[in-house]
């Protein structure tokens, strides 16, 4: 939402979208490094190959979304973003055998329809744009699911995981970003005239991006990728409302009805999730506790059980 507000306040050419994202992750990595050095956060081990795999998927998501926006109309771009919720649901079902209640599915449909009504206008698509949109949707969905699975697999906090992935993403995006932006816009970053105002808003954007990245990892780790997608569409409602309040943007009856339907869907989704939790009060905590155990914890528990059994046998023999 803040990024959209900054576009109103400082309308600069969008020739550095991918490179700017690299700066966002660079500042995030710096904040994570300072936090680790100062002792505010602990560093846990995550295999390098998993971090590299995640970074590749995340960078594909960023590049794919930029290409989709360039090659397709804004309306089709919005449709591709809306399709992420059902795609995340299907991927979680395939990868983690996760099932959703009928109430949750109905709420998701209401949110998608509501946001679609208030945002989708013209729809134009071509073969290249459709392919880029598919890559963007699949990679973004997989990235968000991986955030949650890595946190559970290695019992690592959201900020600790972000501190490990941000440096890799920053380095790769800063190296490849200028060339990707040149392909997208036909302008090289070196030709961009940097003013004091541009530097100020870039620094402000990077600072806000730290909170945005942390909130993403925190929300997915605490709830789920689907919940993050549903809550993320609240941003669209806030942007349209603030644009009307602060910048006198046009707000039609269609927009109002769509926003009302989307908010209704979010309320129903929250209710449906609570109903699902209450319907399985014992199963869900048990599954969470099981998922939070690492392989090392499981091995230690098994060793402890075997030692207890050996001691019981020795005590029984001594009594006899």
Residue count of the chain, please give it: 320
Alpha carbon distance 36, 30 (integer Å): 10
DSSP 67-123: HHHHHS-HHHHHHHHHTHHHHHHHHHHHHH-----HHHHHHHHHHHHHHHHHH----
CA distance 283 to 146: 23
Domain ranges of the chain: 13-279
pTM of the model: 0.76
Specify the DSSP element, H or E, that contains 212. Answer: helix 196-222
CA neighbours closer than 13 Å in the CB half-sphere of residue 159: 12
What's the number of CA atoms in the CB half-sphere (13 Å) around residue 203?
7
Closest CA to 1 of 208, 202, 239: 239
pLDDT tens sequence for the chain (320 residues): 444 444 444 444 454 778 888 999 999 999 999 988 888 877 788 899 999 999 999 999 988 888 888 888 777 888 888 888 889 988 998 988 888 888 888 888 888 888 888 777 767 778 888 898 899 999 999 999 999 999 988 888 888 999 999 999 999 999 988 888 888 777 777 777 777 777 888 888 888 889 988 988 988 888 888 888 888 888 778 877 877 787 777 778 888 888 888 888 888 888 888 887 777 655 444 444 444 444 445 555 555 555 555 444 444 554 44
- DSSP letter for 195, please: -
What's the distance, CA 109 to chain centroid? 20
Quote the CA–CA distance of 225 and 217 in Å, as a whole number. Answer: 10
């Amino acid at each position: 939402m803040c990024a959209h507000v900054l576009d109103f306040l400082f309308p600069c050419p969008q020739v550095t979208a991918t490179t700017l994202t690299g700066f966002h992750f660079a500042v995030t990595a710096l904040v994570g490094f300072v936090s680790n050095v100062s002792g505010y956060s602990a560093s846990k081990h995550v295999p390098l190959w998993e971090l590299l795999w995640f970074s590749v998927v995340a960078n594909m998501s960023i590049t794919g979304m930029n290409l989709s926006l360039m090659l397709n109309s804004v309306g089709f771009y919005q449709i591709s973003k809306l399709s992420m919720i059902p795609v995340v649901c299907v991927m979680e079902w395939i990868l983690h055998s996760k099932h959703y209640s009928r109430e949750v599915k109905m709420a998701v449909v209401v949110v998608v329809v509501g946001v679609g009504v208030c945002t989708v206008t013209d729809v134009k698509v071509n073969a290249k744009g459709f392919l880029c949109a598919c890559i963007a949707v699949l990679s973004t969905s997989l990235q968000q699911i991986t955030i949650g699975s890595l946190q559970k697999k290695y019992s690592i906090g959201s900020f600790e995981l972000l501190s490990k992935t941000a440096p890799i993403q920053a380095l790769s995006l800063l190296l490849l970003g200028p060339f990707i932006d040149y392909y997208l816009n036909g302008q090289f970053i070196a030709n961009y005239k940097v003013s004091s105002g541009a530097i100020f808003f870039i620094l402000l954007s990077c600072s806000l991006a730290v909170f945005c990245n942390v909130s993403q990892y925190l929300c997915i780790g605490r709830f789920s990728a689907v919940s993050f997608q549903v809550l993320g569409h609240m941003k669209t409602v806030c942007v349209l409302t603030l644009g009307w309040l602060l910048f006198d943007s046009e707000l039609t009856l269609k927009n109002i009805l769509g926003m009302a339907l989307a908010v209704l869907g979010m309320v129903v989704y929250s209710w449906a999730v609570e109903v699902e939790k209450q319907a399985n009060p014992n199963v869900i905590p048990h599954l969470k506790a099981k998922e939070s155990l690492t392989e090392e914890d499981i091995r230690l528990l098994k060793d402890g059980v075997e030692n207890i059994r050996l001691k019981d046998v020795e005590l029984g023999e001594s009594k006899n």
